[in-house]
Amino acid sequence: MPALATAALLLPLLGAAPSAAAPPDAPPAPDRLQRAFATAAAEYHVPQSVLLGVSYLQSRWDAHGGAPSVTGGYGPLHLTDARTALAEVPRSHHSEGSEDPRGDDARARLHPADGATPSASTDLPARLTTLPKAAGLSGLSPEALRTDPAANVSGGAALLAAAQRDLGEPLSADPADWYGAVARFSGAEDAATAAAYANDVFEVIRAGERRTTDAGQRVTLAARPGLAPDLSQLDGAGLRAASAAGTECPTSVSCEWIPAPYEEFGDGDYGNHDLGDRPDSQRIGYIVVHDTEGTWDGVLNMVQDPTYVSWNYTLRSTDGHIAQHVKAKDVAWHAGNWYVNAKSVGLEHEGFLAEPDAWYTEAMYRSSARLVKYLAKKYDIPLDRQHVLGHDNVPGTTTATIPGMHTDPGPYWDWRHYFQLLGRPLQPTAGKKSSLVTIRPDYGANRPEYTGCESAGESCATHGSSEVRLYSDHDVNAPLIKDIGLGTTPTTGVNDLSSRVSTGQQYAVADRWGDWTAIWYLGQKAWFHNPRRSPAAVPASGRVVTPRKGLAGVPVYGRAYPEAAAYPAGVPAQAVSPLPYTLPAGQRYVVGEKVPGEYYYAVDFDGASRQVVRGKDQYYEIQYGHRVAYVRAADVTVTTAR
């Protein structure tokens, strides 16, 4: 049955019918969803603030056009019906493309074994089957719960009321009496995860929220700053105790230790990471955000395979639960660039790059932000976009590796919201005529066309995006900017990074023309539409590099390796290979920081070879294109731009 017909049948029940004067094809009134929350709260005797808080943590009240999340969740309450979603074999982006996850020229290229991808389990946990249960409790059809936001809200209210009754608690009008039910709603099997989820919901209720959803619905949750829920309710929720022993996580998240194996196999081969002594041996300077391109259980099976690759943490979409696999002192194989691997921590988020509505929950965003803040404080990592990287911002190590580098988490990861959660909102830091800009479009309203999500050349579903497209002139009909490292004609493909900048990245202004701004990008003048009423960027200040006086241009590198003379006997010198790009005279690029030339040599299982080679050469990390890059400090001059 079409969604509009289903919604029409449900309107008398939900009490959210449009006025009789409205034509049949008129869009829903902008307060329809708010009224649906009020109606469902009254019908099921759930405090409206609790229903709104739970929904915000699940979806930020978005409906995603009825499309499911990565875990088969639907609608504002993220009611899950994951059997169809998990019927296919999970895949992992580490197994796709030509990127070598380790990215170390001193060893043979690593290709994850084809057998590492497991079949999905047919036994689904309760957290992935809440929609059928909601259908039984509410009497609404599964189709209605998937496609009609008002019905979905009603189903979520029915689940919360059932959880409250199961706990032997009254259907109280006081939201403080619903802590246990909210914890149970998370679907978590352990008390720590359920508590972390419930704490987030009540934090949202205390702070209050207001936003316009992806469907244009205006929803408000009034703040309740003094609300103190009854935490003791969790004791009777029947959840197992979970141990965070061995993990390196903040106490504000739920975390468990599922170790990646350090094991020897075959002819001296070993996996799936290297032992180290960070940060004593070398600084941890980056956090790399990935998406899994697979579902929770399958991904956890893969990271426990010694013949596969590794990362430090995996985050679950439904409730933000975290599994740690590799200690921060050790080096995981995740980013495709050994220099970055040796200096980074990798976070995999349950999700899919090319499925715009296989959306990330607010629960996972918040859990990830807490983990990143904890790591940044512990290892003194700046919270900016040259240190908190997407996998798609990590550069190729050599010219040959550029085309195979991965592109996750992609254009649908909401960097602007993420940095708000990190406590570092992306704000203007200079006047209107500044010579630098920070890319910062309105995620929901910024909807560039992408192709190739389902089939090559076909348009992806229209969706909000963190990325802004670049042209060779101030005209949307002008050719797209070309990345010579890719060696292909630029396209609007969802995985084609050649002519895209991402929220939070900073660039030097090269020119302006009406509602257009040009930046220096990949050695070129690149234009993007930047109208005053709906800007795609905000003014910024910071440090920039330009070629030292007398140089026509300087080489650009994908790694900051030491000079050959720095390598001791027994350690083969690694090539300092320039990429096919240059930084021309007269152009300026924003600086991340100055870094030493460094190489971590680790090629055997017993650890006899392990050592950090550090040279005299110094480098600057720069925002060169969509990916970061490095230039020798001796080749450039650093100035402050405002």
Assess if residue 502 is contained within a domain.
yes
pLDDT of residue 119: 40
Q: Could you give the CA distance from residue 540 to residue 430 in angstroms, rounded to a whole number?
A: 5
Number of domains in the chain: 4
pLDDT classification of 125: cutoffs 50, 70, 90: confident
Does residue 115 form part of some domain? no
Say yes or no: 461 and 525 in one domain.
yes
162 or 93, higher pLDDT: 162
Tens of pLDDT, residue by residue over 489-512, are: 999 999 999 999 999 999 999 999
- Helical spans, DSSP H, in 167-254: 179-185, 191-207
Domain boundary among 524, 540, 556: 540
In a shared domain, residues 140 and 54:
yes
Average pLDDT, the chain: 91
Claim to verify: residue 385 and residue 346 sit in the same structural domain? yes
Please check whether residue 98 lies inside any domain of the structure: no
At residue 122, the pLDDT reads: 54
The CA–CA distances, whole Å, from 612 to 69, 130, 281, 615, 617 equal 43, 50, 7, 10, 15
On whether residue 451 sits in a domain, the answer given is yes
Please check whether residue 487 lies inside any domain of the structure. Answer: yes
More confident residue, 267 or 499: 499
570, pLDDT greater than 90: yes
Q: Is 154's pLDDT higher than 90? A: yes
Q: How confident is the model at residue 113 (pLDDT cuts 50, 70, 90)?
A: low
Residue 420 lies in a domain: no
pLDDT digits (tens, 9 = 90+) for 244-264: 999 999 999 999 999 999 999
Helix, strand, coil shares of the chain, percent, nearest 5, are 25, 20, 50
Q: Specify the DSSP element, H or E, that contains 134.
A: helix 130-138
> Do both 342 and 451 map to the same domain?
no
- Whether residue 19 is found in the same domain as residue 148: yes
- Give yes or no: residues 523 and 630 share one domain: no
The predicted model gives 364-378 an average pLDDT of 97
pLDDT tens digits, residue range 41-66?
999 999 999 999 999 999 999 999 88
pLDDT at 26: 58
Same domain, 269 and 290: yes
Q: What is the strand order of the sheet 255-257 is part of?
A: 255-257, 322-324, 313-315, 344-349, 286-291, 388-390
Query: Which range is least confidently modeled, 115-124, 136-145, 221-230, 405-414?
Result: 115-124
pLDDT at 213: 94
**According to the model, what pLDDT value does residue 121 have?**
47
CATH of the domain at 211: 1.10.530
Using the predicted structure, report yes or no on whether residue 5 has a pLDDT greater than 90: no
Q: In this structure, are 277 and 184 located in the same domain?
A: no
Confidence (pLDDT) at 110: 74
The verdict on 226 and 248 lying in the same domain is no
Residue 75 shares a structural domain with residue 203? yes
Q: What is the pLDDT of residue 24?
A: 53
517 and 489 in one domain? yes
- Express as a percent the part of the chain with pLDDT over 70: 91
Q: What is the pLDDT of residue 360?
A: 82
* pLDDT at residue 243 greater than cutoff 70: yes
Boundary-marking domain end, from 236, 268, 294: 236
Calpha distance 336→394 (Å, rounded): 8
- Out of 204, 236, 268, pick the residue that ends a domain: 236
**Amino acid identity, position 364:** M
Is the residue at 380 inside a domain? yes
Same domain flag for 274 and 230: no
Q: For residue 286, list its beta bridge partners.
A: 344
To the nearest whole percent, how much of the chain has pLDDT over 90? 79
Structural domain boundaries enclosing 596: 545-641
Has residue 286 been placed in a domain?
yes
Confidence (pLDDT) at 20:
40
pLDDT value for 89: 43
Q: How far apart are CA 552 and CA 590, in angstroms?
A: 19
Q: What is the pLDDT of residues 292-350, one digit of tens each?
A: 988 888 899 999 999 999 999 999 998 999 999 999 999 999 999 999 999 999 999 99
Q: Give tens-digit pLDDT for 377-431.
A: 999 999 999 999 999 999 999 999 999 999 999 999 999 999 999 999 999 999 9
CATH of the domain at 256: 3.40.80.10
Q: Are 67 and 461 in contact (CB under 8 A)?
A: yes
The DSSP annotation for 95-126 comes to: GSSS--SS--TTSPPP---GGGSPPPPSS--G
User: Helix, strand, or coil here: 605?
Assistant: coil
Residue 602, pLDDT score: 96
What is the C-alpha to C-alpha distance for residues 398 and 183, in angstroms, rounded to an integer? 49
Cα 621 to Cα 345: distance, rounded to the nearest angstrom: 18
